[in-house]
Amino acid sequence: MRQAYDFKHENFDDLGESFSRVPFSIAYSDDIDEHWSNWKLLFLTAVKEHISTKTVHETNSPSWIDGEVRHLKRKKYDAALSKFRQNVSENFAL
């Protein structure tokens, strides 16, 4: 289970009006990471005011597969793909 935004039942006009009132200029910082963090906080605050969330049940995966397991699975796949690509380029470089 996870929380997801329920965009289907929301009023985007109110959200757009809220975005027009958000002072995104105060998020400015010389540090790009801090600037991103400030901007994201302002953006998500406006979204949370206007868009509700719902609980989503993932029916295609067992309950023990959580975000950490999916991350490790993706990491393993990326490593195998990288190794495959390296072997393919070595074999065809001859």
Q: Where are the domains of the chain?
A: 1-57, 64-94
Backbone angles phi, psi at 54, to 5 degrees: -135, 155
pLDDT band at 67 (very low <50, low <70, confident <90, very high): confident
CB-based contacts of 4, cutoff 8 Å, min separation 6: 53, 54, 55, 56
DSSP helix/strand/coil, 54: strand
Rounded to the nearest angstrom, the gap between the alpha carbon of residue 15 and the centroid of all alpha carbons in its chain is: 20
Tell me: pLDDT of 71 over 90: yes
Q: Which parts of the chain are beta strand (E)?
A: 2-5, 53-56
Q: 4-58 pLDDT, tens per residue?
A: 888 887 878 888 888 888 887 777 888 889 888 988 988 888 888 888 888 887 7
Q: Tell me which amino acid residue 90 is.
A: E
- pTM of structure: 0.50
pLDDT band at 81 (very low <50, low <70, confident <90, very high): very high
